[in-house]
Every structure is written in structure tokens, then in C-alpha cells.
Amino acid sequence: MLIVGVSGSPRNQATEHILTQTLDILKVRGLETMLWTVRAKSMKYCVNCNYCLTRKTCVFQDDLKDLYDSFAVAKGLIFATPVYNGGVSAQLKTVMDRTRSLVAGDKNFFKGKIGMGITVGGDRAGGQELAQWQIHTFYLINGMIPVGGGPFGANLGANLWSKDSLEGVKLDEEGLRGLKKTTKRFVEYIDLYAKRDVYE
């Protein structure tokens, strides 16, 4: 039961730290995990060449290939992003856009996988919810089951405030509480839905 976490930060700082912590919790809950980071990776933007629509593979063969192979077998995905200008990082957006080649090959590629989002902003209200919504929109478009944090505490999911530092995010008690609640629900959803093979 593989869960793939993607860090959309080009640094090993707040976002990667929080994602690592989340995957560690999932490991304790008996899930197999994999962390993939955009950091130091080579990946081109989608250029809408439509090569994938006929060839069922991307015209670019770069570092996204390995990630997408793991997406194929994953039961759950966790996209984690720093908030850049009120949205996801360009790097995470590239990971999303280039999946067009996967969906061109199989429109149900992502269907039924469980999805959770983690956002980390330098400001307290810096656009975390907008970035979270961008992640959930990707999940919805692709037929995934998006997981929020639930009412009374986490709502849309894990949204953290770093004050622009690794130390800052470790002190964000409210954000960490939301992360805990969202992770708990993610595990519940994996137990509820991902163990069934209902999407054929």
C-alpha cells in the first residue's frame, strides 16, 4: 500500500520537513511511503505539444519518469507545497501539468487514489487555502478522493505558517494540529477506500 509524497519546494526546509514528518507517521501506521522532491530535479514544463495524445507518453523523458512510475502503483498521494504568490510552487504545478501524458494513456490513471494536501506559507494568511484548493482541484479533476482535515480544527487540510523558516514551522502549533487531524483522516480514507479494487 504505497503512499507517495511530493515536496514542491526547491529547498530542504519547512515543506520537506513537514512532509517527512507526515510520511513517518504513515510508516508507523503500516503504510509504505516514498518521498519525492522537486529539489535539484530536471523537469521541463508541459508545452502543450499534444505528443502524448497520440503517442500515450510524454515527449520529454526527464526526472518525472520515475515519479510517475510510482504514481501508477500508489494508493495515495500527498502533494506538499510552499505558497508562492498565493498558490502552489511552479515546480509542483509542473508535476501536475505533465501528468497529462499519464491521463492521455489512461483517463482513469488517478481514479480512486486518496489525496491529501500540505501547504506552507511564510505569512499566516499568505494564500495557504488557495494553494490547498489548487491541489484539491487537481485531485478532483482526476477522479481522486480528496481528504480535508474535517470541521473543528483543520477544515480544508494541513495549512502551515513557517514565518519563512524551518524553525518557524516547527512552532506553528495550530498548523501542526491541523496536520495531525488531516493525516488521521487520510489514514481512515486509505482504510475505507483504497483497499477495495472497485475502479475497473
Residues lying near ligand FMN in the complex (CB under 6 A): 9, 11, 13-16, 82-86, 120-123, 126-127, 162, 164
Q: How far is the CB of 61 from ligand FMN (least distance, A)?
A: 28
Q: How far is the CB of 35 from ligand FMN (least distance, A)?
A: 13
Question: Which uninterrupted H or E stretch holds 105?
Answer: helix 100-105
Shortest distance (Å) from residue 129 CB to ligand FMN:
11
Indicate the residue among 148 and 175 with the shorter CB distance to ligand FMN.
175
Of 13 and 183, the one with the shorter C-beta distance to ligand FMN is 13
CA atoms of 146 and 75, how far apart (whole Å): 12
Least Cβ distance, residue 22 to ligand FMN (angstroms):
13
DSSP state at residue 87: B
Q: Which CB, 13 or 142, lies closer to ligand FMN?
A: 13
Q: In this complex, which beta carbon is closest to ligand FMN, that of residue 116 or of residue 187?
A: 116
DSSP codes of every residue in 6-47 = EE--SSSSHHHHHHHHHHHHHHHTT-EEEEEE-TT---PPP-
User: What is d(CA 111, CA 140) in angstroms, rounded to the nearest whole number?
Assistant: 9
Q: Closer CB to ligand FMN, residue 120 or residue 147?
A: 120
CB closest to ligand FMN, residue no: 126
Measured on CA atoms in the order 87, 88, 94, 100, is the torsion positive or negative?
negative
Tell me the closest approach of the beta carbon of residue 84 to ligand FMN, in angstroms.
4
Please list, in sequence order, all residues whose beta carbon lies within 8 angstroms of the beta carbon of residue 147, skipping any fewer than 6 positions away.
Answer: 114, 115, 116, 157, 182, 185, 186, 189
